[in-house]
Amino acid sequence: MSGTDITKVNMTTRELMREATRAAKDKPCLYYVQTGCRDTFGEFETKVNRISNLLVNRYGVKQGDKVCTMAENIPELLYTIMAITNIGAVWVPINTMLIGESLRYIIDASDASYVCVSAKFHDVLSQAIVDSANRVTSLPLEKFSEMARDEKTEFESLAKPDDLSMIIFTSGTTGFPKGVMHTHNTFIRTGVRGLEELGTDENHRIHVYLPFFHGWAYLILLGALYYKCLVVMEDRFHPETYWETIEKYGITQDHWTGTVPLNLMKLPKCDFEQKVRLRIVGTFGAMYAIMKERWPNLSFQSLYGQTEHPFMTEVPQDQIYPGSDGLPKPPDEIMIVGNNGEILPEGETGEIVCRCRCGVVMKGYYKNPEASASSLKVGKGRTDLHTGDLGKLDPKGHLHFVGRKKDALRVRGEMVSVEHIEHLLNGHPKIAESAIVGYIAPEKAELKEEEIVAHLVVRKGEALAPEEFHAWSEKNLARFMRPRYIVIREKLPKTATERIQRFKVREEGISGAVKLY
């Protein structure tokens, strides 16, 4: 494609939605598979504007307020997200798998005043905010459309393109989760850039099952509004009916996480999947060959990105080869940097640094100037993002992701902070200290997916049975944070300065471990 100059894209989410309605008012915008709910662009905007007025008039939400959402994929979630940024407030998505302290942390760390929550998560939220440092108002997200029925259908926003529009928390890679700050412009531009590579236009129909508490689904929504195409949304991924949904709704484009092809390959082959033409983007790497063999008519693209800067690289369509994570997306540049800041030559491993010249990189970490200064280096006409990931460049200029410089694990598609899990485990009344390491089972080697192994030192005079610990973890840890294996030990290997030597623990693998589930 010739390429859109995304530096010329300069708008708020309100302006993005208004332009989509102006150009395609009666065209389908959103289908929700589970209930059959359908909106045109005009209907979608009307619902968003009414909820914007509801939040302002009834609840007093104002420009700059931090407003969380905690809900499954339902149309009301999308209306609410757009209403929050419409107002000029700051959207803070909450991972619906979080519970207890981890959930409360996001609310407190973002200085949220409101949480728009669906009935499904109301009780979990209520329990978490009892001890919140903030004065938080819980709002019934599922009822907004009905409650806003008599509100005005127009809303005049005070937001500006470079205003903060969202704080999306990382899973934490060097400690507790950090709040990544994005403006209206940074995320809209990224949505435009991401969908452009798939040849997106007004005729496309995009399947979205990814949860909106991750940035990827939101980017798809913003990109779809820009290109004025249809979003077909599901509450979650349903492998057993996947191909039926693709056929029924005439879907032309999808976005796969690494586990999607594995789940689809477990199903018997059907005639439709062999002949359908579908454009797909995701992170595939070593799986590409077997994917192409199973689905010869699907077009695949792979990418590398982070919450701080999604879509840093992309592999040109159907040019994926083992290990490649693609080429930098112009006008950006990917550099590999050594420990002293020197740029390393081709083939050498170092930290991945993205030199961003298109204004899509985050604006920093919320209330964390030290982390912001460490990750972002601003120069004339560009910002260098130090990713904390390790990689190298091959002779073709393709990036190869090697591993993480930071202490983090990838578990069931989520990035998990080792330090954060240890903090939660150390809050158990019988645990004196803990060390978390990852273990990659042979069958998950291609996906680089890890299982959590917890090495626990029990307090003197206490005993902790595996069953007791597992029951506690189910009540206190998000599902993707729960250790699959535990090792009860007398002590942990440490340095002379009493720092845990995780590398020594990691070398033990799952030797002596008890599998919990």
Tell me the per-residue pLDDT of 342-352, one tens digit each, with 9 for 90 and over: 999 999 989 99
Model confidence over 104-155: pLDDT tens digits? 999 999 999 999 999 999 999 999 998 777 889 999 999 999 999 999 999 9
Model confidence over 267-288: pLDDT tens digits? 999 999 999 999 999 877 667 8
pLDDT at 446: 67
Distance between CA atoms of residues 356 and 382, nearest Å: 5
Distance between CA atoms of residues 397 and 488, nearest Å: 46
Q: Give the helix/strand (H/E) hosting 92.
A: strand 90-93
For residue 175, pLDDT over 60 is answered with: no
Q: Rounded to 5, what percent of the chain is helix, strand, coil? A: 35, 25, 40
* Residues belonging to the chain: 517
Query: Who's near 196: CB < 8 A, 6+ residues apart?
Result: 1, 3, 4
> SS3 for 333?
strand
Query: Who's near 437: CB < 8 A, 6+ residues apart?
Result: 418, 453, 455, 502, 505, 506
Residue 151 to residues 89, 251, 314, Cα–Cα distance (Å): 19, 34, 43
CA angle 446, 449, 450 (to 5 degrees): 130
Beta strand pairing call for 253-256 and 327-328: unpaired
Mean pLDDT of 333-355: 93
Token pair 């990917």 is at which residue? 334
For residue 498, pLDDT over 70 is answered with: no
Model confidence over 291-313: pLDDT tens digits? 899 999 999 988 889 999 998 99
Model confidence over 386-400: pLDDT tens digits? 998 888 999 999 998
456, 441, 478, 515 alpha-carbon torsion, rounded to 10°: -50
Are the beta carbons of 307 and 168 closer than 8 angstroms? yes
For residue 405, pLDDT over 70 is answered with: no
Residue 482 to residues 3, 438, 473, 503, 507, Cα–Cα distance (Å): 43, 12, 6, 21, 21
pLDDT at 462: 94
Find residue 391's DSSP bridge partners.
Answer: 350, 401
pLDDT band at 174; cut points 50, 70, 90: very low
pLDDT at 416: 81
57-79: string of b/e by CB count within 10 Å (b at 16+)?
eeeebeeebbbbbbbbbbbbbbb
For residue 265, pLDDT over 60 is answered with: yes
Greater confidence (413 vs 316) lies with 316
pLDDT at 408: 73
Please, what is the average pLDDT of the chain? 91
Of 194, 255, 236, nearest in space to 77 by CA: 236
Mean pLDDT of 455-475: 95
**253 φ, ψ to 5°?**
-150, 140
Residue 470 to residues 450, 476, 493, 515, Cα–Cα distance (Å): 18, 10, 24, 10
Are the beta carbons of 12 and 105 closer than 8 angstroms? no
Model confidence over 25-60: pLDDT tens digits? 999 999 999 999 999 999 999 999 999 999 999 999
Domains plus CATH for the chain? Answer: 1-235 (3.40.50.12780), 408-515 (3.30.300.30)
pLDDT band at 484; cut points 50, 70, 90: very high
For residue 173, pLDDT over 60 is answered with: no
